[in-house]
Structure 1
């Protein structure tokens, strides 16, 4: 069979190619590659074809090839490279891959960090928010940026989410005469216009060994930064999470997040899911950012705004928790009902009979299965001579299951 050889170019020019790769390139009748790769072989006698934006044209040329064809790619062709496109459009048996050291491998070697525990993110095509969602879900990330989703833009989005606890390595023009690697924090990245050819490495920083939060159910209330009384109490939080019946890959909406305590508790219950904490109060938003950072949440996205207006750009939920409605309960429930699938659950925490009545009335009229649990909590008072109980207001936990 007349094979197509897909050969990775390393960061060291021709010196980085294996002997077999150089022999195949020397024998080739047609050589495909980006302008930078083709410039490595100025004396190539055959036809050179630049791989640009017209990838369909490249596939047609490869399908109608005569003689030996070689495709040059950067590093490992199957690592965010042209290899995926070729496998999707050509006969797999016609392809042979000869990988080289990728820019990401080279970058980690330069900064002297292991990379076997790294998540790899390409901002190209995924978009800024999608890329940052993956970054905050991990402790170490290598990001391939583009002209729009630049290192500065990624840093700005992380800072906006209150996730500035990363050290950054901006690795530019790797392998070239103008190679530069800068170790900087996210705020410093905001001021830098990075070279077009760059790899951004972000590593989550912890204050000291053992300071990372270990998930437990029922985080003490005093651990959260919050406005007084705008927090779902520890015991209520645990019962609420039980009523939500979360599975590992669900999408949870937390409406009226307050301190973000429910989202933070749910974070480790949804290792493959997504959580959107919605809040309109500016002071609460500041506290939520502090809490998300403190507890190193991985799957929570803060959504500032008024419900239900802020629902529009969110993925459909599997579960919805409403801790505060700002007087818009019916509008919120109507908007949620339009997006919630069958068997989806809504859990509402109410402290007034008016909210209890309104919620149960809505669920009954909309054909939901309804369950209400009243939770009365009393705790012993700390630092008193005698053990006396202090009672908290009862909370009505209302569960609506969509038929």
Structure 2
């Protein structure tokens, strides 16, 4: 009778298999596995197939055609960065049964005596280094399965380039073997270590005692931001703008004409699982954005250099778009955004001139959007006066357009 069992190997070798797993392996007629795992069964009576000698597609083809009992050996849990996902995509899932085991990640966290239920897991294999480090900085605790390109040293170098050095690093090498070694260091220390090919990197964020920390709140005071002549979206305007964007935790937000980055910095706390792209063409503004992103410990914001809409092609499609500046290309930007925004998506545009408001309103009217405009007039008491007098700011028109 045809059956496919995908069995995870634990850290301890053959003694780590359950009796049922051993029985299934002994009863099978075809056994796939790496050289290290196949060595655990020297007396196996069926056919052994080295996974290294076949592509995954070839393995799937053999499993599809094979009418008997087959076993695929995997490390730890086959559904945790293992072969299980690929097999489920390419074989009838009713034929497959999984028997998971202890993963290297579980084992490593037990060794360093650290809970791991609040950890994000990243596989660096065949991924861009930037993407790997984006995931790391978005969380306080990360376990990284490195590879020969995205090594612990390369990851440490990228973290330092982003001024994210406040991690305690556990380098776990050759787990479960006589050469097992766990070294504790910091991000700079990762650059100096010779690392075994078989390793797991655990990074735990440590906030310095004297570092200034910011509690996520709406309406960060304007003076907290570094900006050009304080030309930023004012605190009260920012709060209303964010309310009109109606952000949910996993959305993708484009901030076009990011200026000082104040909108995307506050949005970062509202999108813990989202992605934010701060698009800015001015070099001086970009430098201030970098300082502000570092100061406020943002996690999900990527700074994009260039002129919109030319630099938008490579970005993922947005769920929300904020336009704080257009560089004189408002109509081109709106046309591009309209092509990329899905049904139900929102665009919020802040205008200080009637010309901008009129042009945007005309575009959205022609494109069939549901449009709302709110005028916000802000006046604050002057801080340096013997009398309670108000200082008025220019009115801001907040336009919200919903794509129907």
TM-score under structure 1 length normalisation: 0.85
Aligned position for 1:382? 383
Q: Distance in 2 between matches of 1:347 and 1:230?
A: 19
Contact 1:12 1:175 in 2 (8 A): yes
Equivalent-residue separation in structure 2 for 1:309 and 1:335 (angstroms): 9
Q: What residue number does 1:48 align with? A: 48
Match of 2:246 in 1: 245
The equivalent of 2:285 in structure 1 is 284
For residue 167 of structure 1, what is the aligned residue in structure 2?
168
Partner of 2:62: 61
Instruction: Mark the CA change 1:156 to 1:312 in structure 2 (over 3 Å): closer, same or farther.
Output: farther
Secondary structure of the residue aligned to 1:268 is helix
The separation in 1 between residues aligned to 2:171 and 2:283, in whole angstroms, is 33
Hey, what does 2:302 align to over in structure 1?
301
Query: Aligned partners of 1:279, 1:356: CA distance in 2, in Å?
Result: 21
- List gaps (5 residues or longer) in structure 1: none
1:203 aligned partner: 204
The CA deviation at 1:10 is: 2.3
Would the aligned equivalents of 1:165 and 1:293 in 2 still touch at CA under 8 Å?
Answer: no
Inter-partner Cα distance in structure 1 for 2:88 and 2:248: 35
TM-score (normalizing by structure 2)? 0.85
Q: Distance in 1 between matches of 2:31 and 2:402?
A: 61
Q: State the shift of 1:43 in Å.
A: 4.5
Q: The residue matched to 1:265 in structure 2 has which SS?
A: helix
Is 1:12 the counterpart of 2:12? The answer is yes
Distance 2:26 2:362 in 1: 78
Whole-angstrom CA distance in 1 between matches of 2:283 and 2:186: 26
Shift of 1:239: 1.5
Residues 212 and 3 (structure 1 numbering): CA distance in 2 closer, same or farther, change over 3 Å?
A: farther
Deviation at residue 234 of structure 1 after TM alignment: 0.3
CA distance in 2 between partners of 1:295 and 1:338 (Å) = 33
The alignment partner of 2:200 has SS state of: strand
Query: Distance between the aligned counterparts of 1:401 and 1:4, measured in 2?
Result: 50
Structure 2 segments unaligned to the other structure (5+ residues): none
Q: CA RMSD in A?
A: 3.2
Report the Cα distance in structure 2 between the residues aligned to 1:66 and 1:344, rounded to whole angstroms. Answer: 50
Mapped to 2, the partners of 1:88 and 1:336 lie a distance apart of 34
Kept in 1, the 8 Å contact 2:378–2:395? The answer is yes
Q: State the Cα deviation string for residues 26-72 of structure 1 (Å, max 9, x = none).
A: 55543320122123334445421111352233234334547654322
- Residues 280, 305 of structure 1: 8 Å contact kept: yes
Shift, 1:271, TM fit: 4.1
CA distance in 2, matches of 1:369, 1:62: 54
| Of 95-104 and 129-138, the range deviating more from structure 2 | 129-138
Aligned equivalents of 1:97, 1:247: Cα separation in 2: 35
| Residue 344 of structure 1, CA deviation | 3.3
Q: Distance in 2 between matches of 1:170 and 1:289?
A: 30
Aligned length: 403
Cα distance change of structure 1 residues 63 and 250 upon mapping to structure 2, 3 Å threshold: closer
Residue matched to 2:104:
103
